[in-house]
Structure 1
Amino acid sequence: MNVCFLASSTDQIPNDLTIAEEEQDLPKEIKEKKKKGQLRTGLTTGTTASAATKAALYTLLTKKIVHEIQVTLPKGMMVKLPIKWTQVTHSSVTCAVIKDGGDDPDVTHGAEICSTVEFTSDIGTIQIEGGVGVGKVTKPGLGLPIGSWAINPVPMKMIKDSVNEILTSIAPSPSSVGLRITIAVPKGAELALKTDNPRLGILGGISILGTTGIVLPYSTASFAAAIRQGLDVGIAQKADTFILTTGGRSEDFMKKLLGDKYPDHCYVQMGDFAGYSVKQCHDKGVKKIFIGGFIGKLTKIAMGVKQTHVRGSHVSMDFMAQLAREAGASEEIINLILNANTARHVSEIIDSHSTTGFYNLVCREAARQLESYSGKDLKIEVILFDFEGKLAGRFST
């Protein structure tokens, strides 16, 4: 890969706040890189699938095989990925790209992701579907229709954007072309058994994921160093209030909610490490923090989970049902929640039954848990967004 992202870690994490709860299970080479203070960031399955698609379409239109291809990430950054192999038939082209997850211990690292592009008679349409090794959605609460391929919205848009780039630059009339694109992961079904996909109802393969196109090494101390660095930069500019978010989307939503009240250096992405981030704010003398996120991560925080990576913890439906009961939900709703598939599924149940106050209670419990890292002298305000960015709940200590 022609682009390499590096994150450094120079400080030891306190023993009582281990960032990676499963750190002892990391591959040996990652542990060695941690000792040296450098960890490499990779690219998502969505970025990899986009590259394979773009290369296949280019070859289909030009009859020229390429050995690398450039794709644009959601935030505008461009990266080049090598093409592993290309197969040409009389009616289609298939390209394969190896998924490079950097130093994040993800089961899809090294997986071969393929895209087959072929013309169809359905002029002016682009059909994108899954093939061998890509899972199908069989349960609610995942933000995708039941029966659909497990290709998330951002990767779907990246694939379409990559196709449009090629069509606009090469095809004589982009609207006169009909295409079918099939994303496949030859070992996807095997890899999926090592993930939470079967439990979540994604069957037959892996998901094509990614919101930024980039894989950060979340389960490593390098992310803790980035959190500390972000806080130190803000404090050096006299900031005493910080907005901690679980990721890029929640940060964007917090900026819309708070407007111009706080400059960019007040925003820090804490990822999965809420407890560690709050303790760092307390130790560095910060006066107030906002915590912004969505139902899944904030529920885990409310449950007292220190590290909210999906592989290290699960949302308790009993816990969510208890909060719903406190909010006045009927026994019918309680039973639906107890049998829900995901935290997002619970939110769909709550929204469809207009259970007032449930999200505020999630925020309250999250704030109470985070106080255990900071004491009463750090003011904490927790804000929960729905998946469209609408304010759903909030609570201040």
Structure 2
Amino acid sequence: MEDPLDAPQDDGRPLRRGWTTGACATAATKAAYTALLTGSFPDPVQITLPRGEQPAFALAMEEQGVDYARAGVIKDAGDDPDVTHGALVMSRVRLLPPGTGVVFRAGEGVGTVTLPGLPLPPGEPAINPMPREMMRAAIAEVAAAEGATGDAEVEISIRDGAALALKTWNPRLGIVGGLSVLGTTGVVVPYSCSAWIHSIHRGVDVARAAGYPHIGASVGATSETALKRLYGLPDTAIIDMGDFAGGLLKYLRSHPVPKLTIAGGFAKMSKLAAGALDLHSGRSQVDLAALARLAEERGAGRDVVAGIAAAPTGLAALRLGHEVGLGDAVAERAREAAKTALRGSEVAIEVLAIDREGNIVGRAG
């Protein structure tokens, strides 16, 4: 494909942007539909993205049968650590009778929706609304140029998609059999983590549609285990928010649930307590001076306060402040920060601070 746009520099090195699965599926669809009408595949094939960019994609495969054409594109996610980077995205297109419209099918490696709450109803292939619109527009463009009706069946498949889907949220979201075809702009911005935040939002949607009165949000596997042990929540009621507390809390402003329990390591919760909504180590740090002040407020002696301020890690600070309930103090401040981020949304908040062994060392709400 032609040169992707460069992302803003990170540590002085320009990061390459890439293309979403939806953009790749659109390029493959346009190539296959063109071949079906003209007998030849455009290679490279150029598409128009929602914001007007016009990237061109090289074809990795071409196949033409009696009543179908199929094309494939290798996904290039740029410098983003995308699980689908390098995957072969294929589109098999057949003509349909006039007036049928464009019909989408899930081929091998593309999942099917089974739970309510997602942008698509149960039974539909997991090809999101924007990629569908992009493919319809590409078919309409070719149909207008070739004097065709634009009625077609589009079957999207992704090589090894079922195995790759096990590394994503899809099983928890009730998307079975493979990956989702995603993308709202067609462009992958390196380390924007848009796919993760998208999954957080869809996880909330599924939990709301299921009517759960209580959902959990975990920073990682240890805190998720602690949540399950404490409340017995099903997988579909637990959001793997990772470091993206803000991505979850901002979405809950307009998509509230009755009760939310946030669980994470003590150090991560201390960052939330300080007001950080991105808990990644590269974007927020444990404020040891703030922890020392919290301990002092709870009656810690001068030596303990000084030790916390000079502690090498958050957990070391926790051990020093254990006797004065530093864990509970951090959980309470984190709960206040979460409530502030919700901006009045009617969500009852609880916060659990967890140690590395999975024990609850702080609790509020």
In structure 1, the partner of 2:174 is: 201
In structure 2, the partner of 1:57 is: 33
Residue type matched to 2:19 in 1?
A: L
Is the 8 Å Cα contact of residues 363 and 393 (structure 1) preserved in structure 2?
no
Residue type matched to 1:46 in 2?
A: G
In structure 1, the partner of 2:247 is: none
- Alpha-carbon distance change, 159 to 363 in structure 1, aligned in 2, over 3 angstroms: farther
TM-superposed CA distance for 1:139, in Å, is: 2.9
User: Which blocks of at least 5 consecutive residues in structure 2 are unaligned?
Assistant: 208-215, 240-253, 264-268, 277-289, 291-332, 349-365
Partner Cα distance (1:74, 1:315) in 2: 39
Q: Give runs of aligned pairs for residues 265-304 of structure 1, distance below 5 A.
A: none
TM-superposed CA distance for 1:3, in Å, is: 2.8
Partner Cα distance (2:117, 2:222) in 1: 14
Moved more, 141-150 or 151-160: 141-150
Is the 8 Å Cα contact of residues 56 and 95 (structure 1) preserved in structure 2?
yes
CA RMSD of aligned residues (A): 4.4
Aligned: 1:191 with 2:86: no
Residue type matched to 2:69 in 1?
A: V
Residue type matched to 1:183 in 2?
A: I
Q: Deviations over 1:343-393 (max 9, x none)?
A: 79xxxxxxxxxxx9955976999x9974514689xx995358xxxxxx966
In structure 1, the partner of 2:7 is: 7
Aligned: 1:104 with 2:80: yes
Is the 8 Å Cα contact of residues 115 and 174 (structure 2) preserved in structure 1?
yes
TM-superposed CA distance for 1:98, in Å, is: 0.6
Q: How many residue pairs end up in the alignment?
A: 262
- Alpha-carbon distance change, 368 to 359 in structure 1, aligned in 2, over 3 angstroms: farther
TM-superposed CA distance for 1:37, in Å, is: 1.4
Residue type matched to 2:341 in 1?
A: V
- Of 187, 191, 204, the residue aligned with 1:214 is 187
Partner Cα distance (1:129, 1:197) in 2: 18
Is the 8 Å Cα contact of residues 62 and 70 (structure 2) preserved in structure 1?
yes
User: Which blocks of at least 5 consecutive residues in structure 1 are unaligned?
Assistant: 12-35, 224-245, 249-270, 273-292, 306-311, 323-333, 345-355, 385-390
TM-superposed CA distance for 1:96, in Å, is: 0.7
In structure 2, the partner of 1:42 is: 18
Aligned: 1:382 with 2:277: no
Partner Cα distance (2:176, 2:78) in 1: 26
Could you say what secondary structure the match of 2:17 adopts? strand
In the superposition, the TM-score normalised over structure 1's length comes to: 0.54
- Of 341, 365, 376, the residue aligned with 2:236 is 341
TM-superposed CA distance for 1:65, in Å, is: 2.1
Structure number, greater radius of gyration: 2
Could you say what secondary structure the match of 1:107 adopts? coil
Identity %: 35
Could you say what secondary structure the match of 2:40 adopts? coil
Residue type matched to 1:341 in 2?
A: T
Q: Give runs of aligned pairs for residues 171-250 of structure 1, distance below 5 A.
A: 171-172=147-148, 174=149, 177-218=150-191
Residue type matched to 1:38 in 2?
A: P
Partner Cα distance (1:73, 1:357) in 2: 29
Could you say what secondary structure the match of 1:208 adopts? coil
Is the 8 Å Cα contact of residues 218 and 224 (structure 2) preserved in structure 1?
no
Higher relative contact order (CA 8 A, sep 6+): 1
In the superposition, the TM-score normalised over structure 2's length comes to: 0.58
Q: Give runs of aligned pairs for residues 135-174 of structure 1, distance below 5 A.
A: 135-172=111-148, 174=149
- Alpha-carbon distance change, 340 to 189 in structure 1, aligned in 2, over 3 angstroms: closer
In structure 2, the partner of 1:22 is: none
- Of 72, 80, 87, the residue aligned with 2:56 is 80
- Alpha-carbon distance change, 362 to 76 in structure 1, aligned in 2, over 3 angstroms: farther
Partner Cα distance (1:184, 1:357) in 2: 32
